[in-house]
Amino acid sequence: MATGLATFAPPALAQPSSPASRFPEKPVRIVVAYSAGGAADSQARLAAQHLSEMWAMTTMVENRPGGNTLIATQAVQRSAPDGHTMLSVSLPFALNPMMFEKLPYDPFRDFVPVGLISSIPNILVVHPSFPARSVSEFVAYARSNPGKVTVAHTGIGSITHLSGELLYDKTGIEVTTITYPGSTPAHADILSGRVSAMFDSSMLQHIEAGRVRALGVTSSKRLDLLPDLPTIAEQGFPGYSAAAFYGLVAPRETPPAVIEKIAADLHSVLQLPEVRSRMRDMTFIAGGTTPASFGTFMQDEAARWGDLVRRREIRPG
């Protein structure tokens, strides 16, 4: 005869929460390899602001310019691989192995991609006193005055540098390039006339105010905000195309689940209407990719620009 006693299962053991479910557990830091105020800084701060709101946790931007981005890169390489410290990267991150004989890191071995934040074409601008009103006139003047045209950029291998190198390679002109630690100090010298020209993405307000003259857009298509400004390719230089990109990477051993969470949250932020509107106002094109696709994109950019770096024998100064 059955006793009728009830059978009770033991209580389930509590499962430890995953790193991704707990992230972020403390303030998040995005390290930018350029000074405050430029394009790299602006897009990082825009993303950080909205990630802070989403996570209810402070997400700060730390500027560590210098050393062709090596200072910032090594600082993040040495940080804890937990997602709380990330590096804002652009083209030099992928190109530095081709430019330095000995590099203290490998961008594709020591870091993992998180996602693309934005891409942005540059605009060739000159001081209003410069005697050129088009790219063809700029090239003609530089050809007649070899080495006399001064062009600012934000670092060897940066897109502000390589946009110019691509044009010099196509035309054979010689200019004098001047390296700055970021866009802000370079802008000061362009606005004062101490430097003739710059390929840059963050001078729209100065263009509109007439403080600099825009000659051409580096992308293959015109900008929506400057529809009357032709591309460089349109002005007699077919095939010319250059654009910056900005994204996030993290130290190599950051847990994949944490990377996927950050990437998904970054993608959500980049779909917000207010973020897309702000990026459009800054001539940025909002990104938002998977980690894998961002990694492939950086590999492709390294291969594309690496050909120019080798051909022009570009090395850090």
Start-to-end CA span in the chain (Å): 93
What pLDDT, on the 0 to 100 scale, is given for residue 85? 98
Segment 99-104 long-range contacts (CB within 8 Å, at least 24 positions apart)? 99/68, 99/156, 99/157, 99/309, 99/314, 99/315, 99/316, 100/68, 100/316, 103/70, 104/70, 104/74, 104/77
**How many C-beta atoms lie closer than 10 Å to residue 127's C-beta?**
19
Phi and psi at 60, nearest 5°, equal -110, 155
| CATH superfamily of the 26-121+244-312 domain | Bordetella uptake gene, domain 1 (3.40.190.150)
Rounded distance between C-alpha atoms, residue 108 and residue 248, angstroms: 13
What pLDDT, on the 0 to 100 scale, is given for residue 7? 36
Specify the DSSP class assigned to residue 235.
G
Structure tokens at 190: 């362009």
Rounded distance between C-alpha atoms, residue 178 and residue 112, angstroms: 32
What pLDDT, on the 0 to 100 scale, is given for residue 307? 92
Could you tell me where in the chain the CATH 3.40.190.10 domains are found?
Answer: 124-235
Specify the DSSP class assigned to residue 15.
P
Per-residue pLDDT tens, the chain, 317 aa: give them. Answer: 443 333 334 444 444 567 778 899 999 999 999 888 888 899 999 999 999 999 999 999 999 998 878 999 999 999 999 999 999 999 889 998 888 888 999 999 999 999 999 998 999 999 999 999 999 999 999 999 999 999 999 888 889 999 999 999 999 999 999 999 888 899 999 999 999 999 998 899 999 999 999 999 999 899 988 999 999 999 999 999 999 899 999 999 999 999 999 999 999 999 999 999 999 888 888 888 899 999 999 999 999 899 999 999 988 76
Pairing of strands 85-89, 197-200: unpaired
What pLDDT, on the 0 to 100 scale, is given for residue 79? 97
Rounded distance between C-alpha atoms, residue 264 and residue 223, angstroms: 28
What pLDDT, on the 0 to 100 scale, is given for residue 107? 94
Over residues 177-191, the pLDDT tens digits come to: 999 988 889 999 999
Q: pTM surpassing 0.85?
A: no
The domain over range 124-235 is classified in CATH as 3.40.190.10 = yes
78 close to 219: Cβ distance less than 8 angstroms: no
What pLDDT, on the 0 to 100 scale, is given for residue 18? 72
What strand order describes the sheet that includes 197-200?
A: 176-179, 150-153, 197-200, 123-126, 213-217
Q: What is the DSSP string of 187-205?
A: HHHHHHTSS-EEEESS-HH
Could you tell me where in the chain the CATH 3.40.190.150 domains are found?
Answer: 26-121+244-312
